[in-house]
Amino acid sequence: MSDIQSPVVIEIDYSNRTFDQLKETIAPKHSKLIFDYPTVYIVNDENKNKYSVYVGETTDIIRRTNQHLSDDIKKDREDWRQFEQSKTSKMFVIGHNHFNKSLTLDIENRLMLYLSSVDQVERVQNRRGNPQNKYYTSEELDEIFSKIWRTLNRKNHYLFPAESFIRNSAIFKSSPFHKLTDEQVKAKNEILLKITSVISKNETGVLILVKGDAGAGKTVLMSSLIDDLLNSEDIQMIRENNDINLVVNHDDQLSVYQEIEKKLEWKSGSNINVVMKPTQFLNALKKEKTDAGIVVVDEGHLLLTAKNQAYLGGNHLNDLLAKSKVVVLVYDENQIMNKSQIWTDDAFLKLEHEANLKGNLITLHNQMRIHATKETVEWIRNLIDTGVVNEVPIDNDYDIRVFDSPEELQSAIMEKNDNQSLGISRLTATYDWEYSSQSKPKDSDYWCVRIGDWSCPWNRQLAKEKESKHLSWIEQSQTIHEIGSTFTVQGFDLNYVGVIIGPSVKYRDGKIIFDISESKNKSAVQNRKLESGEMINYGETLLRNELNVLLTRGVNGLYVYAVDEELQQALKNATK
């Protein structure tokens, strides 16, 4: 049993006058931790169950509070003026006998990570992330923080919901306040140095390419990068005369970034929002008659390389490069989903080669999503990349199972989802059953995945609860009764992912093959017309990518059922 003490957490009205009263009433053993030790504090103001919060740390809580209530207000800081004038603003002051400067900075950073992920929090006003490296008590961080959060939860469960609830939110998983791995820190520092070089040399149209497989931590890296570009005092010169924007061509990931933009009050430096879809962003530049500065592109493999009804340009990336000083592009060719996203010539290879020659190609190698042994990850990759179904390795940390029916698979995923302390679980399928967002089927209320007598609605059809409409698909409670597709789960983590492998994926002569005639994903299996007029089909590649996205969602487990009898048997044999 741990001998780490519980924290001291006091809640007071937000006023410098309350400290004098507090000194007279607080227990002496607690007084020392609050007034003589470093502390962490949370100023908060509630309005109709929505909160504005400020998180800070200090070695002198009285002096720091006086600074906020006098100096910051004199500096015309509107946020502090609102806290000072509000009759409902409160402050939590947190003390602990193991607190030191590094530990309080890490606690501060994690509080910002958690609070920015709370749905009831509208604004997090200290946006300075400052995670620390190793220090004397760093191994105690997790336990001390959990004790702090549980104490705060008992005092106000609206502002401080259970940790499991926080960790399941998509905002949490994409937050810029995560402590980066050594590989991510190195990559971010390289990118910042390269951006600084581009700006100092007055270059334009420079591509910095970041590559990595699904689950390599690309989104967290980009979120941290964009927050640094917008807020870090160390690189302030970059922001001078250079707008900062983030674009992503994925609806659910876009909504997550937009929530982060709103809560952290990101400002691009122009009239254009920080976060936009690429077509919207290019159209906004045209409307404003301006060029871009620094553009970060997440899920860059989803950029269009051909015109469509909404986008009249020829190629998203080429258009972004033509309008920007520097484009930081995250790219994984194995997650391209649409024939309109494929590069039909060697133009991207040339861009990649040029980036490599300039030292502007960065590759992330770590697998951060799947909590499994190297052998298990290799098993999944061999299944996808080479079509080989090897024997599933023994792994005590990662659960791979093959179910005899879709009913059994669905029940198992629902059971896993009931224990949300581990995370959200959802059922998904390859796009092998009809679906339309524009109409309803003639013989049913919903477009469904149907196998024998069993059926389940496709995603985005069941009624949403009012309070969860702005959340990503995986976070909405009703979606446990739907089936997700690559359109709703790409880029997100699931605790356990259930995958129905439809009839487009078959097993013949000891290998997986892809049958485009069985797929209902028209944007993947229809021919792509080249500029020369030649028609090319990329269906098999895109269906492999579809399988790749679905099979790599699970953090702790992968549950599977295959419609093709030979594939189902091969998978069953592999798990014996």
Tens-place pLDDT, residues 396-415: 999 999 999 999 999 999 99
Start-to-end CA distance of the chain, whole Å, equals: 39
Assigned CATH topology for domain 374-574? Rossmann fold (3.40.50)
Task: Provide the β-strand partners of residue 52.
Answer: 45, 123
Q: What is the pLDDT of residue 134?
A: 63
Query: pLDDT tens for residues 431-454?
Result: 999 999 889 998 899 999 999 999
Q: Which position has the higher pLDDT, 368 or 123?
A: 123
Q: How far apart are CA 249 and CA 297, in angstroms?
A: 9
Q: For residue range 259-274, what is the model confidence (pLDDT) as tens digits?
A: 999 999 999 989 999 9
Give 315's pLDDT tier (boundaries 50, 70, 90).
very high
Which of 142, 139, 135 minimizes the C-alpha distance to 107? 142
pLDDT digits (tens, 9 = 90+) for 224-253: 999 999 987 777 778 888 999 999 999 999
Q: How far is CA 60 from CA 37, 172, 372, in A?
A: 8, 30, 45
Query: What backbone phi and psi angles, to 5 degrees, belong to 72?
Result: -65, -35
Taking 90 as the threshold, does the pLDDT of residue 14 lie above it?
A: no
- pTM for this predicted structure: 0.91
Assign 1 a pLDDT band (cuts: 50, 70, 90): very low
pLDDT of residue 398: 97
Q: How much is the mean pLDDT over the chain? A: 92
Reported in sequence order, the residue ranges of 343-439 that DSSP labels E, i.e. its strands, are 361-364, 399-402, 426-429
Is the pLDDT assigned to residue 48 strictly greater than 70?
yes
pLDDT of res. 253: 95
What radius of gyration do the chain's Cα atoms show? Answer: 26
At the topology level, CATH places domain 182-364 in Rossmann fold (3.40.50)
Q: What is the pLDDT of residues 77-87, one digit of tens each?
A: 777 788 888 88
Half-sphere CA count of 538, side-chain side, radius 13 A: 21
- State what percent of residues in the chain have pLDDT above 70: 96
Domains of the chain by residue range: 8-167, 182-364, 374-574
Question: What token pair was written down for 386?
Answer: 């080479």
**Sorting pLDDT into bands at 50, 70 and 90, what band is 477?**
very high
Beta 244-248 vs 275-276: how paired, if at all?
Answer: parallel
Q: Identify which has the larger pLDDT, 13 or 18.
A: 13
CATH fold match for the domains 182-364 and 374-574: yes
- Cα angle at 308 between 307 and 314, to 5 degrees? 10
Predicted confidence (pLDDT) per residue in 15-29, tens digit? 766 677 677 778 888
Do strands 90-95 and 8-13 pair parallel, antiparallel, or not at all (unpaired)? antiparallel
The whole-number pLDDT of residue 506 equals: 98
d(CA 139, CA 56): 21
Query: Would you state the pLDDT for residue 86?
Result: 86
Q: Which among 18, 468, 491, 466 is positioned nearest to 216, based on CA atoms?
A: 491
